Structure 1
């Protein structure tokens, strides 16, 4: 009995110090509802099914027929599922073709789990920003995003699984980009949603991280999107020190470049905060044909064999495709 009393406090401490992955109160928001993080499976963290580049003032789901788009996309989704993919994080932002109802249709037709987002894309000089974004404050924009996070995106009632913003390249953020980053920080603090930011070079990532830190947002909640565009690999060390997620998400465009970066990170840092994906797709409304569409298989057919040939293990690959996405996108219920 005495020995039992000695063990019980240790067990209680263990219960309260469990790793986040073991916390039964964590969930992930998909377009069909909440799931247990352990149900995420192999995940592509940055993909697109439809992107509309016409501009915020003209886009809308009146520009495409969902049945037609779904019929086109399903074979590509099934190719990815044949390779084990269970979840696709759809990174198309608002006013650039984001369509939660299309994602629901695709999920119901194929079984692929989709995660969508809330937020605005400020890159390309504001072409994809709604008119009110120019006059509203960061706090005003955050209120819109927080409402969508709590109540669902507009009439779809789909709850987002992350915040997606985009900023212009540069060492100093424009006023608009700074507003979007601040709004994302406010939304994160209220909802716990991960901040996924279209970025590029480390200097632009660092400018966002500094602003978030000034607003008491941890860099651990920030995803440096398109980190594969950083030419100086040593900057991955700085990102690693900050604790940000390093997203190498352009595999379909440059397989060898991703191999080189992953080798550097594995050999000099670790893979604990690395995310990988294609940035592939996408159906383009208004085009007569869709022959520019790129599928979601290069990671499996080209990159992973190269990784294995260069000393990576299945444990390493599973970390980047299963464990890291689960940790990154989990939310406190």
Structure 2
């Protein structure tokens, strides 16, 4: 265990934190999101089929989960490789890849992308939301789930010797299911054993992040080494957000580039614009949370790629260095502020 302390574990092995460079903490490079297909409105069914083309691109951008081919990011490795090269050329160093069991994690592809682009890639261990849990996963105890997560980090995932470097994204729904609660508890137990960070996908409700932190704390997790993802679609009330920030986890705004007229996965949520995200981050900085903020894009569908006119992985580096966000704040956001490995107290 001592060999992991203070290190970052990439798919190519351990590196020193100072080697990571600008780091995006919530992206996907290869995944299958077809489990979340949303049937289109009556009369629009033909738009769900066929390839992405210029003539249907606007509809896909507003209905990304209703186009079957769009949900198969795993088919676009050449395009993703090109994007990673642009990311590196723009000053990017590391991608934390949040694809977990249930949405087609591909460790061999992640290793190949790291080798071919020179970008550090850190893979995520664990399980996504309940709707992707197999019957075997749903039947497992917390102890069994913990064993799998620990094994994915210490020995390798998905039948390979390629190791994950973080736990997550751990998927939670609203309301949380019993299987998700066990996975969440297992993530906490794994962290307590080996000292790795946890990245959470909260349910789409403003109370979900609070519930998750409470469960993690009760299970022995270190909340200060936990990232709460997707806050830009979870907590909108300023008072409630500041109340959550006091709990001490990392505050992640990771949907930059995602601007919907209608959010298919939760129609009651009005997806903010990037300007809204920046305003919320400025508020958090002014309240003293600049060293707790993380930013990313959460690319997970084809239309988010440059190939289809989407937001590139390097956008946060290229865009916000020059558009008024304090460079000192930006350095907190994109440098490896998150302690990727830290020796657990009981193992010191």
- Shorter chain as denominator, the TM-score bin is 0.7 to 0.9
Q: Distance in 2 between matches of 1:233 and 1:298?
A: 26
Higher relative contact order (CA 8 A, sep 6+): 2
The corresponding residue for 1:177 is 180
Q: CA 1:65 to 1:93, structure 2 compared with 1: closer, same or farther past 3 Å?
A: closer
Q: Residue 156 of structure 1 aligns to a residue in which SS?
A: coil
TM-score by length of 2: 0.76
Choose which of 100, 117, 120 in structure 1 pairs with 2:124: 117
- Shift in CA distance, 216/112, structure 1 to aligned 2, threshold 3 Å: same
> For residues 282 and 90 of structure 1, what CA distance do their matches in structure 2 show?
14
**In the alignment, which of 149, 153, 167 is matched to residue 149 of structure 1?**
153
Given that residues 29 and 160 in structure 1 are in contact (C-alpha distance below 8 angstroms), is that contact kept between their aligned partners in structure 2? yes
Distance 1:162 1:181 in 2: 14
Query: Against the structure 1 CA distance between its residues 208 and 161, is the aligned structure 2 distance closer, same or farther, given a 3 Å change threshold?
Result: same
Q: Return the structure number with greater helix share.
A: 1
Q: Return the index of the structure with the highest Cα Rg.
A: 1
Query: Where do residues 1-333 of structure 1 align in structure 2 (5 Å cutoff)?
Result: 25-55=5-35, 69-122=76-129, 126-164=130-168, 165-170=170-175, 173-199=176-202, 200-229=204-233, 230-253=235-258, 254-283=273-302, 291=308, 294-308=311-325, 312=326, 314-325=327-338, 327=339, 329-332=340-343
Aligned residue pairs: how many? 288
Check whether the contact 1:228–1:258 (CA below 8 A) recurs between aligned residues: yes
Give CA deviations for 1:238-279 in whole Å, capped at 9, x if unaligned: 232211111110111132121111111011232111111111
Q: Kindly state the Cα deviation for residue 103 of structure 1 after the two structures are TM-superposed.
A: 0.9
Could you list the per-position Cα deviations for residues 151-189 of structure 1 after superposition, in whole angstroms to 9, with x for gaps in the alignment? 11133211111111110134xx32222112111111111
Residues 29 and 159, structure 1, Cα contact 8 Å, conserved in 2: yes
Structure 1: state its 5+ residue gaps. Answer: 1-22, 57-63, 285-289
SS of residue in 1 equivalent to 2:324: helix
Does the residue aligned with 1:109 lie in a helix, a strand or coil?
A: helix
Distance in 2 of aligned mates of 1:179 and 1:158: 25
In 2, the alpha carbon distance for the partners of 1:281 and 1:296 equals 11
Let me know the Cα RMSD of the aligned residues.
2.6
Q: 1:323 & 1:187 partners in 2: Cα distance?
A: 21
Q: CA deviation at 1:282?
A: 4.1
Question: Match of 1:11?
Answer: none
Change (3 A) 1:302 1:233: farther
Structure 1 residues 37 and 75, CA gap change in structure 2 (3 angstroms): same
